[in-house]
Amino acid sequence: MLKYLLAISLLIPLLCYAQDGDYTLGASNSAMADASVATVNNWSLFNNPGAAGNLEHTSIMVSYQNRYNIEGFHVIGGGAIVHQKWVNIGVRYFKFGDDLFNQQMVGLSFSNKLQMVSLGAGINVIQTHTEGLKDDRVWVGEFGGLAQITNKISFGAHIFNFKHGVEYPTTMKAGLRVSPLENIGLNGEVQKQLEQREIYKVGLEYELLEFLILRTGVNLQGVEDKSRTNTNAAFGFGLNTTGFLMDYSFNSGELGAIHEISLSISFGDVE
C-alpha cells in the first residue's frame, strides 16, 4: 500500500504538468502548433467559441491524442455544434488521463455572428480524479470573439477561466489570420497564462488540392532561464470531402511526440 501511494505522489506532478489547463483539441489546429484562435472551423468549439458563431452548419466531431506513447497521458474528446438562426449551441467533452489520475471537462457554449463580429461564451465543469482521494470539481467560464477586419484578415481573442487558480490557470489568447491567397492561411498568436511566460505561435495552412490540406507550425515559449526557449514544431494534413473531414497532426511536444487524429461530420449546406 505504501509503495502504491508513493507511486501516485510521484506521478501526480508529472500528470498535472502534462495537462496544465490546456483543453484545446482538434488535429487541424494542433498541426499549426495550436495557432487557432482566429481560425473558423468545427474545432473552434474547443479553441475559441467566439469563432464558432461564424459556422453555418450543424456538426459532430471526435478526436484522439496519443501523448508521448504513454497510456496515462492520452486524450479523447468530442462534441457537437447545433446551428440555429440566431445562435450556435455547442456541447463538448474532454478527458485526459486514466483510472489513476484523470481530468474530465464537460462544456456548453453559445455563439452568434452580428455583421463582421462573432461572439461566444461558455460554461464548463472540470473534474479532477486521483485514485484514493476525493474528486475535485470546479466551474469555469470562458469568452471569445472574432472580428473580420477585411476579407483577408481576421482577429480572434479568447479567455478561459475568469477566476485564476493554481489547478486551473487563466489562459488568454489573441491572434491574427491572414489569407493572402484563397488557398493559403497564415496564423499568428500569443498565449499567456498568469504566472507563466508567453507562448508565441505561427501556423501555415495550404490547400494543395480541393480535398487535401497541408499544415505546419511552430511555437516558442520562454522559461525561467531567459537565455533559452522551448520550441515545439508541428505538421499534419487534412482530407476534406463534402461534409466529412479527417485531420492528422504530429507535434514535437516538450516531453515527446504527440499524435492526434480527428474526425468531423457536418450537416446542411457545407461548402
* Structural domain range at position 205: 2-267
Strand duo 256-267 + 212-222: pairing:
unpaired
Query: For residues 88 and 53, is the Cβ–Cβ distance under 8 A?
Result: yes
Residue 144 belongs to domain with CATH number: 2.40.160.60
Residues 149-167 pLDDT 10s: 999 999 999 999 988 665 6
Ramachandran area for residue 12 (φ above 0: left; ψ -120 to 50: alpha; else beta): alpha
Transcribe 89-140 into DSSP letters: EEEEEEEEE-SSEEEEEEEEEEEEEETTEEEEEEEEEEEEEETTS--EEEEE
Measured at the CA of 97, the angle between CA 218 and CA 248, to 5 degrees, comes to: 40
Separation between Cα atoms, residue 243 and residue 180, nearest integer Å: 25
Which amino acid, one-letter code, is at 234?
A
| pLDDT at residue number 242 | 84
Structurally, the chain folds into a number of domains equal to 1
Q: Is the pLDDT of residue 240 over 80?
A: yes
- Longest pairwise C-alpha distance within the chain: 62
- Predicted TM-score of the model (pTM): 0.88
pLDDT band at 168 (very low <50, low <70, confident <90, very high): confident
Separation between Cα atoms, residue 133 and residue 16, nearest integer Å: 15
Residues 84-110 pLDDT 10s: 989 999 999 999 999 999 999 999 999
Separation between Cα atoms, residue 188 and residue 176, nearest integer Å: 5
Grid coordinates belonging to 98: 486514466
